[in-house]
Amino acid sequence: MKQKRIHLLSLLSVILFLLLSQTSFSIEKKPVKVKESDKCKVCGMFVSKYTNWIAQIIFNDGSYAVFDGPKDMFRYYLNLSKYNPSKKQTDISAVFVTEYYSAKIMEANNLFFVLGSDVLGPMGYELIPVASEQNAKEFLKDHNGKKILKFEQITLEALK
């Protein structure tokens, strides 16, 4: 009888742990709904009118930063100490950008970014986020792009 109770308690503990883990994971990975009053944290432009270019960084504490394009988002991300000294990259729970072809907001680390194309964003030359490597290659060719980069390959030098 005692052994059954211990087994049952162990099983309940595992179930509770799994439920709590699942809940916290799903909360962290959602983009925010951009408000009309939200401004780009780098250039100061109002973001909501540029729905095809919106990028955002979500922090673990629920705060966020939005941008009028991936280029400004990367400037902020790669120089967090300048734009938001109270935060570190370890405080970031998710980074989202608007994928070029679908115009859907997606996790940036899953996309390919075309650098140096003839497609301009709200602030001029822009990094173009594309969902698949094949589409990125076609975009590069069709729009005179210079390079395809993954999230972790983008540097401040590449943005110049």
Q: Do residue 82 and residue 126 come from a single domain?
A: yes
Residue appearing with tokens 């709590």: 20
Task: Give me the pLDDT at residue 85, please.
Answer: 96
Q: What is the residue range of 2's domain?
A: 1-30
Domain-embedded: residue 36: no
Domain-embedded: residue 40: no
Stretch 97-117: mean pLDDT: 97
Q: Is the pLDDT of residue 22 over 50?
A: no
Task: Give me the pLDDT at residue 11, please.
Answer: 46
Stretch 32-42: mean pLDDT: 96
Task: Give me the pLDDT at residue 29, please.
Answer: 76
Q: Is the pLDDT of residue 35 over 90?
A: yes
Q: Do residue 83 and residue 153 come from a single domain?
A: yes
Domain-embedded: residue 79: yes
Task: Give me the pLDDT at residue 5, please.
Answer: 55
Q: Is 15 left (phi over 0), alpha (psi -120 to 50) or beta?
A: alpha
Split at pLDDT 50, 70, 90, the class of 112 is very high
Domain-embedded: residue 151: yes
Under 8 Å CB-to-CB from 38, ≥6 apart: which residues? 46, 47, 48, 66
Q: Do residue 63 and residue 15 come from a single domain?
A: no
Q: How far is CA 93 from CA 21, 27, 108, 121, 135, in A?
A: 15, 10, 12, 26, 27
Burial 77-113 (b: 16+ CB within 10 A, else e): bbebeeebeebeeeebbbbbbbbbeeeebeebeebbb
Stretch 17-26: mean pLDDT: 44
Stretch 68-95: mean pLDDT: 97
Q: Do residue 98 and residue 61 come from a single domain?
A: yes
- The CA distance from 41 to 56, in Å, is 10
Q: Do residue 144 and residue 66 come from a single domain?
A: yes
Q: Do residue 125 and residue 88 come from a single domain?
A: yes
Q: Quote the pTM value.
A: 0.81
Q: Which residue has the higher pLDDT, 135 or 24?
A: 135
**DSSP code for 151:** G
Number of structural domains the chain divides into: 2
- Mean pLDDT score across all residues of the chain: 88
Task: Give me the pLDDT at residue 160, please.
Answer: 85
Q: How far is CA 97 from CA 33, 69, 86, 109, 131, in A?
A: 13, 8, 23, 9, 11
Domain-embedded: residue 5: yes
Stretch 78-82: mean pLDDT: 96
